[in-house]
Structure 1
Amino acid sequence: MGVLVSQLRSWAPKALVDVSTAVGSINADFDARLTQMERSTDEALSDWEGDAAAAALARSLSDRIAGTHIVTAVAAVSEAFGQAASQLVAVRDPALRIVDSAIAEGFSVDDSGKVTAPSSSTGDVVIDMLMQSSFDEKARTFQAGLVPLLESAAEVDRACAARLADAVADLADITTASPAASSYSPEVRAILDGNALLPEDPVALAAFWDELSPAEKDGLAAWDPTIGNRDGLPAFDKSRYNEELLETLSANADANLDAIVARHPDWMRGENLPPTEGIVSDEDSDRQRELDRWLDERAAAEEAAFGYHEVRTQLDNDGVPRYLMNIDGEGRGAIALNNPDSAGHVATYVPGTSSGLPSLGGDMIRAENLLAEASFDNDSPTSIVTWVGYNAPPEVHNAGSSEYAAAGAPRLDSFQDGLRAAHEGAPSVNTVIGHSYGSTVIGHAMSGGNSLDADSVIFVGSPGVGNGIDGVEDLRLDNVDPSSNHERIFATAAATDPVTWIGGAADSLSETASVIGLPGDISLIHGSDPTNSSFGATVFESDPGPSIDIGGMDFGVSPSTHSDYFVINNPGLQEMGRIIAGTR
C-alpha cells in the first residue's frame, strides 16, 4: 500500500538535510578535538617514562579508539539523514507534480491517489459523451503515473526509517558497550588474527560489511588502512577511510620531497652545478648524470606531492557533496559528485592520456558539467564519478601502447561491480564514459572475455577501443543481450579532432588491404573508429570545433578540439547528459 497524498505533502526533506548538516558539523568538530587531544597527550608524554606513563598512554589510546568509534557511528547517522532526504525528494516531487497538474486541469485526487475526471456538461449528448471519454482516459493516465509513485514512496519511507533506526541503534550500542576488540564477531576476529581474509568479490564484501558494527569497521580499517579502496564498500565509508589514508599518503609524499631536496640544497639554489661548457672531466660527467637523476627524482616527487594536495583541494570544494572513492600510493584515485549509493543515475567518467591526480581539477570540471547536464529536467538524484583509477599513458607518444588499457580494464571492471553491489534500493542506471584513451580502457574491459556492469557506454573522441574490436557485437555488458548493444553503446567525434582519425585510418587500412588481396583484419594501434557506421554504435554530434588556417589554407584539424567535448553548450555534452539521465 502506498503513502497518502496528504502524508506526502507533509514530508519535509529539507528538515532532514538540516539535521544531517548540523550533526555532521558537530561530529567534525568532535573529531578535530579528538585529534587535538591526541597531539596534546603525545606532547605531554614525550618526556615522561615509567609505569605511570605507560598507563597514561594506554588510557589515551583507549579513549581515542572509543572516540573514533563514536565519530564513525555519528557520521553514519548524519549520512542516513542526508540520504533519506535525497531519496524522499526523488519520489515526493514527481508525485506531487502529477497531483498538482491534475487538480489544475479540473480533476480531483483523493488521498489514496485515485483520480476522478470532471463531468462534461455542454448540453450536447454526443459532445459530452466524447469529452467525458477523453476526460476519463486522462484521469486513468494521471492515476497510472501517480499510484506507482505513492507505492515507491512507501517503500522508500520504510527503507529510510530502517536505515535511520539502525544507525541510531549502532550509536547507542557504542555509548553503552565496551569497544574492546573482544566484542568483535568471530568472523572479524579471524580476519584480524590472520586466519581469514576479507571477501574479494564486491557483492560478498558488501553483504559482509553491512553486518558490521562501527567498532568492527574501525577495527578492520586500523588493520588495513587501504580498506576504503576495496570495491563493494559504501561510498560514505570508502570516503571516510580514504580521507584518512590521503592524509598519510600526502604527508609521506611531502616528506619524500623534502628529503630529496635536502640531499642537494646547493643545486636547489642553482649552485655547484657541473659545467656544461669548456673542458668537461669524467668527474664532471658523473656529476651531470647524478644531477639528471636527481632532477628526475625531484620532478616525480613534486608531481606525487602535488597530486595528493590536488585531491584534498577537490574534496574541500564547496557545493556538491564529494566522496573519495579511491586513493592509493600509485597516484590513482576517484572522486564522486553526490553519493552513488543513493543516486538513481550514476556515471563514471574515465579520462585519457596524461590524466592523473595532478590534473584532477580539470577532470572534475568536466564531471561538474556532466552533472549539470544530466540533472537538467531530471528528478532522480545523479552522481558523476571521476575515475583516474588506472595508470594512464603519461605522454601522447605512450598512447599507442595497449598495455595501459589492459592493466586498467580489470580495475574499472571491479569498480563498476562495486558501485552496483553497494547501491541501495532499486538498481541505478549506470553509464561509463571514456574520453580519448579512456575509451580504449573501457573497450578492453568489455572484450576478450570481459564484461562491464553498466547500462550504457559512451566513447568520446576515441582513437579506437581496442585492436580487433570492429563493432559493438565484439563488446559485452553484464546481463545485456549483445544484439541490443547498438542501443546502449554511443560514440561521438568532433570533425576537427585529430585523435579520432586514428581509428578511421585503421578502417581505411583494412579496406585497402582487402582490395589488394591482403588480410582484411589489419588494424592500426587501437582498432576501428567507433563512430564509423559499420561499427554499429549510436553516434551523436559534437561541436566540430575550429580548424587551423595557415595562409588561407584550411587544414581541417584543430588539436584543441579534442579537449572541448565537455565544455558547456557543446551539443555533445548535452547529449551525454541525456544519455546519463535516460531521457535521450
Structure 2
Amino acid sequence: MNAPGQVGYAQLSTVDPAAWRATGSAWAGLTGLVERRAGELADGGATLRTGWSGSAAGSADARLSGLRAELVALVPAVIETDQILAEFAARLVAARARLAAAVALAATTGVLIDRRGDVRADPSRVSTDRTGQPVLQVAAALREALDLADAADAEATTRLARLTRAASTGWPAQPPSYRPPPNADPGLVRRWWAGLTPAERRWLVVHDPALTGRLDGVPAEARDQANRLLLAARRAALVERWEQLLARVPRGPLELAGLRAVDAAMSGLDALVDRLESAHQPRAYLLGLDVGGEGRAVVALGNPDRATDVLTYVPGMTAGLSDATGELGRAARVLERCAELAPGTQTSAVLWLDYDAPDFLHEAAWDGQARAAGEALHRFQEGLRATHDGPPGRQTVLGHSYGSLVVGTAARDHGLAADALVFVGSPGVGVTHAADLGLPPGQVWASTAPDDVIRLTRPPDELARRAALGATPIGTIAGWLAGSSDERWFGRDPAEPGFGGRTFPSGRYGHTGYWHPDNPALDGMARVVLGR
C-alpha cells in the first residue's frame, strides 16, 4: 500500500481488489497450520509427561505449554489480517466503481482524462462556452473516487501497523473478571467492550470464544474471530453425536432419522466452512454458530459495522444448518443487485438463522416458534446499532415465509432497530395493520407472487370450521383453499392494500423464487435496502 494521499488515477485504474482479497485469504489459511502445530505441541507435552518427571520435566512442560499458548494467540491475528485486507479490497471495489462512473460521465459530456487524472474539455465535442461545468463535474467525481481510495489505503495501513505493534509487545492480557450475561443489553455490552484494552479483548477472543462470539454488542470482527476459533470444536461435537447414534444397537427409526440429521448438519457445516475460507467477495463474517438440534448460524456478507446499508434476512420453514449456504446465497443475490443499482455503495447482508424454524406444516401453522425467536432478533438488531462505526447505517429486516412472522412478531412484541421491514411470501406477520409494527407504514414493504402457494393459507380457526363442515376429505380440502380472503394464518396478507404498507411486484416464480435474477421482486428488495 501507498503512503496516505498518494493514490493516483493510474493506480486506481489498474489496481486489482481481488488480489488483495486473495492475500487476506492466504493469511487466514495459516490458521490451519497454526492449529496443527499447537496440537503437535500438546501431544508432545502429553508424551513427555508419561516418561519424564522432576523439576526439569516440569520446566520443559511449562515451556511447551507457553509455546502452544503463543501459537494459539496468533490465530486471531491472522484472521484480523484477513479482515483488514478484505475490507480494504471491498473499499477499493467501491472506489473503482465511482471511478468508472466518473469515466462514463466524461465520455458522455465531452471531457478528456489523461493518465495523471487531469481533465480538460475535448474541443472537438464541447464548445468553448460550455467547457467549465462538465470539466468541474468530472473532476469532482474523480476526486471523490480517489479520496475514497486514499482513505481506504490510510486506514488499512494504520490497522496493520497497530496489529504488528501489538504482536511485537506480546498479547493477550487477562481482563477483569466481570463478564456480561449471555442475554445482556447490547448497549451495555458495547460499553463494556469499549472499556477493555486491545490486549484484553484479544484475551477474551482466545480464552473465552464461546462468550465473545455470541454477545450482541461485541463488534463483528471480534465475533468472527471467536466463532472461527470454535469451528473445529463444533464439528467434533457433531462427529461425537454421530458416533453415539451409530453405537446404538438396535437402531430404530429415531436413530436412523438422527443419523440423517447429523449427516446433513455436518455437510452444511462443511459447506459453510468452505464459504468462510474462500477468497470470494464479500468476505463472510461468522457472527454465531450452534450445532445443537438442526443447527443455527448467523453469517454476514461484508462487515455490517462498516456498511452504509445493512440487510438482515430471516428465512422460513425448514431452514437449518444443513442449507445455511443456500439461504446465504439469497442474501448474496440482494447484495449483488444493490451493487448493480448503486455502484460504489458499501452494503452488508446478514443471514439470521438463530431460531428453531418449523419443519412441518402443522408446526408452521402456529406462532410459538416465532414468538420464541422475537427477543433474540430484537437483541441482534440492537447490537448492530450499537457496534456500527460512524453515522448509523440504514437497517432493513427481511422475512420470508415463516421468517416474516418471526420479524413481525419481534417488531410487535419487542421492537426492532430497523429503518424498513420487508415481507415476501408471507403467511401473515402477527398484526392486522402495518402501523402495529412500530415503524412508519411507508417503511413496511411486502410482495407475494401470483403463484405463491402461501395465498392458499387461511386462519387456523377458519380451517377448523371448514374441516368440520366438509362432507368428504376432498370437499374439506377444497373448502380450505377456496375464497379470495386476504386473511392468512397469522393475520392479513401484508401485500394486500388493506394492510396499509407498501408493495413491490413479483413475477410468477412461486414461493421460493423471489431471488430469481429475472424476478422484479429482487429489484424491489434491493431498492428498499438502499432506501430508494
Same fold (TM over 0.5): yes
1:254-312 Cα distance to aligned partner (Å, 9 max, x none): 11220221121xx46xxxxxxxxxxxxxxxxxxxxxx4554455455445544434433
**Which residue of structure 2 lines up, in the alignment, with residue 556 of structure 1?**
none
DSSP 3-state at the match of 1:190: coil
Correspondence 1:205 to 2:189: yes
5+ residue gaps, structure 1: 123-127, 269-290, 510-521, 546-560
Q: 1:257 to 1:45 in 2, by over 3 A?
A: same
Quick one: distance in 1 between partners of 2:327 and 2:220?
Answer: 20
1:536 shift after superposition? 1.7
Aligned pairs for 1:113-512 (under 5 A) are 142=137, 147=140, 150=143, 154=147, 157-158=150-151, 161-162=154-155, 164-175=157-168, 177-179=169-171, 181=173, 184=174, 188-191=175-178, 200-206=184-190, 208-209=192-193, 212=196, 215-221=199-205, 222-264=207-249, 267=250, 291-295=252-256, 297-316=258-277, 319-320=280-281, 321-330=283-292, 331-379=295-343, 380-448=345-413, 450-466=414-430, 469-477=431-439, 482=440, 485-486=441-442, 488-502=443-457
Amino acid at match of 1:433: L
Quick one: distance in 2 between partners of 1:23 and 1:436?
Answer: 37
Would the aligned equivalents of 1:506 and 1:527 in 2 still touch at CA under 8 Å?
no
Quick one: distance in 1 between partners of 2:142 and 2:462?
Answer: 49
Aligned pairs for 1:101-120 (under 5 A) are 101-102=105-106, 105-106=109-110
Quick one: distance in 1 between partners of 2:98 and 2:277?
Answer: 32
DSSP 3-state at the match of 1:225: helix
Q: 1:332 to 1:149 in 2, by over 3 A?
A: farther
1:40 shift after superposition? 2.2
Would the aligned equivalents of 1:504 and 1:532 in 2 still touch at CA under 8 Å?
no
Amino acid at match of 1:383: S
1:394 shift after superposition? 1.9
- Aligned identity (percent) is 28
Would the aligned equivalents of 1:226 and 1:242 in 2 still touch at CA under 8 Å?
no
**Which residue of structure 2 lines up, in the alignment, with residue 42 of structure 1?**
42
TM-score (norm. length: structure 2):
0.80
Amino acid at match of 1:47: T
Q: 1:253 to 1:563 in 2, by over 3 A?
A: same
5+ residue gaps, structure 2: 465-485
**Which residue of structure 1 lines up, in the alignment, with residue 478 of structure 2?**
none
Would the aligned equivalents of 1:341 and 1:422 in 2 still touch at CA under 8 Å?
yes
DSSP 3-state at the match of 1:473: helix
Would the aligned equivalents of 1:463 and 1:501 in 2 still touch at CA under 8 Å?
no
Cα RMSD of the aligned pairs, angstroms, is 4.0
Correspondence 1:567 to 2:516: yes
Amino acid at match of 1:573: L
DSSP 3-state at the match of 2:492: coil
Would the aligned equivalents of 1:116 and 1:136 in 2 still touch at CA under 8 Å?
no
1:247 shift after superposition? 1.9
Quick one: distance in 2 between partners of 1:136 and 1:503?
Answer: 64
Amino acid at match of 1:18: A
Would the aligned equivalents of 1:170 and 1:214 in 2 still touch at CA under 8 Å?
no
Quick one: distance in 2 between partners of 1:465 and 1:121?
Answer: 57
Quick one: distance in 1 between partners of 2:456 and 2:163?
Answer: 57
Amino acid at match of 2:98: P
Comparing both chains, which one has the higher relative contact order based on Cα–Cα distances under 8 Å and sequence gaps of 6 or more?
Answer: 2
Once the two structures are overlaid, the 10-residue window that deviates more, 319-328 or 217-226, is 217-226
Would the aligned equivalents of 1:339 and 1:383 in 2 still touch at CA under 8 Å?
yes
Amino acid at match of 2:437: L
Would the aligned equivalents of 2:102 and 2:141 in 1 still touch at CA under 8 Å?
no
**Which residue of structure 2 lines up, in the alignment, with residue 271 of structure 1?**
none
Quick one: distance in 1 between partners of 2:98 and 2:514?
Answer: 31
Aligned pairs for 1:17-28 (under 5 A) are 18-19=19-20, 21-22=22-23, 24-26=25-27, 28=29
1:388 shift after superposition? 1.0
Q: 1:38 to 1:344 in 2, by over 3 A?
A: same
1:218-239 Cα distance to aligned partner (Å, 9 max, x none): 3213135242122233333322
Correspondence 1:578 to 2:527: yes
1:62-97 Cα distance to aligned partner (Å, 9 max, x none): 222222333323432442233233224424642563
Aligned pairs for 1:1-16 (under 5 A) are 7=8, 10-11=11-12, 14=15
1:473 shift after superposition? 1.0
Would the aligned equivalents of 2:216 and 2:379 in 1 still touch at CA under 8 Å?
yes
Quick one: distance in 2 between partners of 1:57 and 1:202?
Answer: 41
Would the aligned equivalents of 1:45 and 1:53 in 2 still touch at CA under 8 Å?
no
Amino acid at match of 2:511: H
Would the aligned equivalents of 1:528 and 1:535 in 2 still touch at CA under 8 Å?
yes
Would the aligned equivalents of 2:102 and 2:142 in 1 still touch at CA under 8 Å?
no
Quick one: distance in 2 between partners of 1:8 and 1:416?
Answer: 39
1:35-75 Cα distance to aligned partner (Å, 9 max, x none): 22222223333333324444333222222222233332343
Aligned pairs for 1:516-527 (under 5 A) are 525-527=489-491
Quick one: distance in 1 between partners of 2:426 and 2:181?
Answer: 40
Would the aligned equivalents of 2:13 and 2:96 in 1 still touch at CA under 8 Å?
no
1:527 shift after superposition? 0.8
1:325 shift after superposition? 1.9
Q: 1:240 to 1:445 in 2, by over 3 A?
A: same
Would the aligned equivalents of 1:239 and 1:323 in 2 still touch at CA under 8 Å?
yes
Quick one: distance in 2 between partners of 1:121 and 1:226?
Answer: 64
**Which of 522, 543, 549 lines up with 2:507 in the alignment?**
543
Pick the structure with greater CA Rg. 1
Quick one: distance in 2 between partners of 1:562 and 1:77?
Answer: 41
Quick one: distance in 2 between partners of 1:296 and 1:4?
Answer: 61
DSSP 3-state at the match of 1:495: coil
Once the two structures are overlaid, the 10-residue window that deviates more, 407-416 or 199-208, is 199-208
Q: 1:456 to 1:9 in 2, by over 3 A?
A: farther
Quick one: distance in 1 between partners of 2:36 and 2:124?
Answer: 73
Amino acid at match of 1:37: R
Would the aligned equivalents of 1:456 and 1:489 in 2 still touch at CA under 8 Å?
yes
**Which residue of structure 1 lines up, in the alignment, with residue 469 of structure 2?**
none
